[in-house]
Amino acid sequence: MAHLAHDPNKEPDGRTTLELGAVLPQTAAVNKSGNLCVGGVDLVELARKNGTAAYVMDEDHVRSQLRSYRTAFAQSDIEAEVVFAGKAFLARAMAKLVNGEKCWLDVSSGGELHVALAAGFPAENIIAHGSNKTPSELVEALAAGVGRIAVDSFEELERVNNLAAERNVVQNIFLRIKPGIVADTHEFIVTGAEDSKFGFGITDGAAKKAVLRAMELANVELKGLHVHIGSQIFSLTSFESTIDVMMKFMAELYDEHGIELEEFDLGGGLGIAYAPEDEPASIEDFVACITTALKEHCKIRGLSLPRLFVEPGRSVVANAGVTLYTVGNIKDLPEIRTYVAIDGGMTDNIRTALYDAHYEAVVANKANEPRDCVVTLAGKHCESGDVVAIDTSLQTPEVGDVVCVLGTGAYCYTMASNYNKQVRPAVYFVRDGSERLVVRRETYDDLLNCDIF
């Protein structure tokens, strides 16, 4: 299989854990025992006390990232809202944290909305997304009083209007637009190209038609336009190009129809460091880039500055999170590779099998030692493609070691499954030397909750 291709010439990088830099949670440290700590908590002790697999989230890291976005926007001349993308990682504790940091939340399903509301998140600061919201999900969003619904199709536009009329309300909406931008990222996470299931295209006239129809409807209020061009984007020029296209389109709406929209949602997509060699843009550079571009293109086209929304997810939580495993066995296949078997895999991290995602790993109880061998971390499930890290440098592993896979705070817990009837791991927030269980580990009995016998 191509995604399990082995490089027999790859050499271990010799790095110790703390030499992995930006891949690590911000509070990462090594204690006197040589164990990796995050948030002042010894991860080896946490793993051996509570069991593995387990997700761990650096709470201070998450708060720091959200505050960096808000501070950077506060220093610009643009009114802006930071909207955390719940699809990256969502639990009630996370929703409460986001609200406490004075940020909005975007949800992509009725389930995500339910979790947010159960956490007491203010509905007026929620944006409801999704490419095919069911009628029941739309009713739930309307009943909750969400701040915006991002409408994705003509059918949905009519449906939102009709359901809002039944409730005698006027619902604020965005229209999701395809700007025709192919961002520099994996093809599976490009979302703004013309050939995309998301939104209304500009070049085929659908976007303008949707705007004009929305202006005719009595029970929706078109507040602005939404775009999202993809995820894990390093080149800021992709965002500049998107702003150029969108402001040109908004200027056409004003010049041809007198329609001036007051809000613009740029979506998310800022990349993070999954490897020490990665050099993503900083939050500060990202904000400076997009605010400068927005001001320039509005000035050129004679538009008033819209209220700006951005929807970061991965850049907030990915490097804040790690996953802990215990080594169960080691298989050395001479002249092929060494498999290190862990007590998790594709059910708690599908991204490697799905699109060859890259992860760094360390032995948490040997954190001060150099990574002196190259191994493949193999999961416990009945699939040959069940791997978490391929040909990764690692401290020499032994059975019983605690392996820590880095950068797993985004799209791992949220994409977890029960394949092979594997129970999903617990989630811990760590801060100031204390661990806090925010999602308990599933039990075998949980697997029977929906099983009718």
Q: Which residues are known to be catalytic?
A: 382
**Residue of 416, 359, 366 whose CA lies nearest to 390:** 359
CB atoms within 10 A of CB 30: 17
Residue 392 β-bridge partners = 375
What is the Cα–Cα distance from 250 to 224, expressed in whole angstroms? 9
What is the Cα–Cα distance from 271 to 283, expressed in whole angstroms? 10
Q: Can the peptide bond before residue 28 be classed as cis, meaning omega within 30 degrees of 0?
A: no
Collapsing DSSP states into helix, strand and coil, what is residue 331? strand
CA of 326: how far to CAs of 19, 299, 421, in Å? 23, 57, 19
CB atoms within 10 A of CB 87: 22
- Tokens standing for residue 63: 């708060």
**Residue of 124, 126, 111, 217 whose CA lies nearest to 163:** 217
What is the Cα–Cα distance from 214 to 209, expressed in whole angstroms? 9
Q: What is the pairing mode between strands 361-363 and 402-406?
A: antiparallel
What is the Cα–Cα distance from 71 to 267, expressed in whole angstroms? 18
- Tokens standing for residue 438: 């925010």
CA of 96: how far to CAs of 100, 129, 393, in Å? 6, 20, 37
**Residue of 392, 311, 408 whose CA lies nearest to 351:** 408
- Annotate 131-184 with DSSP letters as a single string: SS--HHHHHHHHHHT-SEEEE-SHHHHHHHHHHHHHTT--EEEEEEEE-----S
**Residue of 228, 229, 196, 214 whose CA lies nearest to 154:** 214
What is the Cα–Cα distance from 61 to 50, expressed in whole angstroms? 23
- Tokens standing for residue 102: 């004075």
What is the Cα–Cα distance from 167 to 251, expressed in whole angstroms? 34
